């Protein structure tokens, strides 16, 4: 009878050890899943950050191109304005020259008539 009780106790201890081992394995699995989930979240955040960084770089490049276009257009407008001003000044100079010539000729002609 004592031998049977010893066997029962041994079986009970083995069963308890098995249950503890199962519990330990469950906890390990749960912990591994939790770490994997954290790692996945961190990877996802890093990927999102990289995408935002790239998007930011793209936007910066677009902005630089736009600013360059604006600068070029302003420069072209300034050059056109300068040319127009030079031509109008040249035209005014021609007009003054013609007026001067007419004024010089008219008094001479009026003196000849007198």
Q: What digits encode the pLDDT tens for the residues 69-111?
A: 999 999 999 999 999 999 998 888 888 888 888 888 776 666 6
Q: For residues 27 and 39, what is the distance between their CA atoms, to the nearest angstrom?
A: 18
Q: What is the pTM of this model?
A: 0.44
pLDDT at 110: 66
Helices (H), the chain: 2-113
Cα distances (angstroms) measured from residue 7 to each of 18, 21, 34, 67, 114: 16, 21, 40, 88, 158
**pLDDT category of residue 114 using cuts at 50, 70 and 90:** low
pLDDT at 16: 94
pLDDT tens for 14-49 read 999 999 999 999 999 999 999 999 999 999 999 999
């Amino acid at each position: 009878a004592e031998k049977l009780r010893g066997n029962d106790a041994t079986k009970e201890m083995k069963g308890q050890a098995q249950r503890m081992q199962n519990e330990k394995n469950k906890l390990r699995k749960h912990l591994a899943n939790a770490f994997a989930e954290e790692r996945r979240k961190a990877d996802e955040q890093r990927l999102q950050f990289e995408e935002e960084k790239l998007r930011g770089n793209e936007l910066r490049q677009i902005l630089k191109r736009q600013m360059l276009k604006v600068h070029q257009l302003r420069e072209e407008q300034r050059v056109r304005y300068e040319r127009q001003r030079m031509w109008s000044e040249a035209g005014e100079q021609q007009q003054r020259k013609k007026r001067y010539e007419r004024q010089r000729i008219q008094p001479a002609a009026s003196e000849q008539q007198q």
